[in-house]
Amino acid sequence: MAVTVTPWAIDGNTHPAAEARRMMCALLTGALGTFVTSPTATDGAHGVAVSGAFTLKVEANGTPNMSVNVHTGSAFVRSGEAADQTYHVYNDGTVNLAIAAADATNPRRDLIILQVRDSNFSGANDDARLFVVQGTPAASPADPSLAATPTALVLARIQVNAADTSIVAGDITDLRVAARSWSRPLGEVAQILIGAGGPSGIAASVTDLTFGGAPMSVTFAALAGRKYKITGSVRALQNTSTGINELSIRDGSNTVLGKSTITATAASWVQHHAIARVTPAAGSVTYKLSMSTTAGTTDPFGAATQPMTLIVEDIGGTVA
């Protein structure tokens, strides 16, 4: 046994590629020991590497057919054949991948992966590829085995329903995870600002805010492994009686994620600032604002210089 230093740090000649892979794994704080590829595998040194909502994202073809497109982007892929080693892979253009014909009777699940092949460990190839791992049709289909692709990052699951002739957005589940290098915030991803108009006479019944017939809500595609901060700001007039005036941030299932509660006297104005922090599953998510008061009624108010706002910000990647 011996202590070694990364060769290219002291030697301009040839050196083992494994040393660079070990260094990448260490810098990204990869977990010690072997790594097993799976649709739920997470690790600091395994995942999408460059921030961006479309980084290696899998989407339906522009004209839906039996294929999907994978966007450009960069990723780190943990080795499933050598402990504590990581590969860096870059895809420089949109890649179209064909999806095999659907079964006539049963659905199946396919996985879209970014795979590294290294003849140092197995096979004869030294490359990286975007690849479809085809599943087996069944009444209740499962994800296909990834045992034959041990060094791979799973990007998405494709639901291939019986007799399907095209893959649409609803058939694709985003399974991208974040490498630790992707933990920095991406910034604002959705917002709605309302300057005037809206419901009035809101009482004890929780009421979703709408303005000009449009809901005070935002819907966007959340990325796997990302944290989001939701901020709601509304000014409201408390009518008739003193009561507890409340603004809440809710998701599409009406789960309360955050709220602002103020005891307001009759004929007084209150300024709400509600904040929530969430880590949703990948895919389409909706957040909205609702109000209520325990006594009398309340009127939310907006003006061009003081709009009501609902803002969603990406505040960083989760750490496995």
Is residue 84 classed as helix, strand or coil in its secondary structure? coil
Predicted confidence (pLDDT) at residue 141 exceeds the cutoff of 60: yes
Domain spanning 187-317, CATH class: mainly beta
- Measure the CA–CA gap between 179 and 167, rounded to whole angstroms: 28
Q: What is the pLDDT at residue 262? A: 97
Rounded-to-integer distance, Cα 138 and Cα 186, Å = 39
pLDDT digits (tens, 9 = 90+) for 56-103: 999 999 999 999 999 999 999 999 999 889 999 999 999 999 999 999
Tokens of 131: 């690849």
Of 122, 316, 110, the residue nearest 225 (C-alpha): 316
Residue type, 93: G
Of 5-19, 141-155, 237-251, 265-279, the one with minimum mean pLDDT is 5-19
The per-residue DSSP string of 96-112 comes to EEE-PPPPSS--EEEEE
What are the structure tokens assigned to 271, written together?
């300024």
Sign of CA dihedral 274, 278, 284, 285: negative
pLDDT (tens digit per residue) in 186-223:
788 889 887 666 678 999 999 999 876 778 899 987 87
Find, among 35, 75, 228, the residue nearest to 155 by Cα: 75
Rounded Cα distance between 319 and 170, Å, is 28
The predicted-structure confidence for 149-185, as pLDDT tens digits, reads as follows 999 999 999 999 999 999 999 999 999 887 876 666 7
Question: Looking at residue 58, what is its pLDDT?
Answer: 95
Section 272-300 average pLDDT: 93
What lies within 8 Å, CB to CB, of 128 at 6+ separation is 77, 87, 89, 114, 115, 116, 117
Of 314, 300, 272, 287, the residue nearest 192 (C-alpha): 287
Q: What is the pLDDT of residue 1?
A: 44
Q: Distance between CA atoms of 290 and 206, rounded to whole angstroms?
A: 6
Answer for the pair 290, 251: CB distance below 8 angstroms, yes or no: no
The ranges assigned to domains in the chain are 7-182, 187-317
CA 125/CA 123 separation, integer angstroms:
6
Q: What is the 3-state secondary structure (H, E, C) of 113-143?
A: EEEEECCCCCCCCCEEEEEEECCCCCCCCCC
More confident residue, 280 or 302: 280
The rounded distance, in Å, linking the Cα atoms of 313 and 307 is 18
First to last CA, the chain: 31
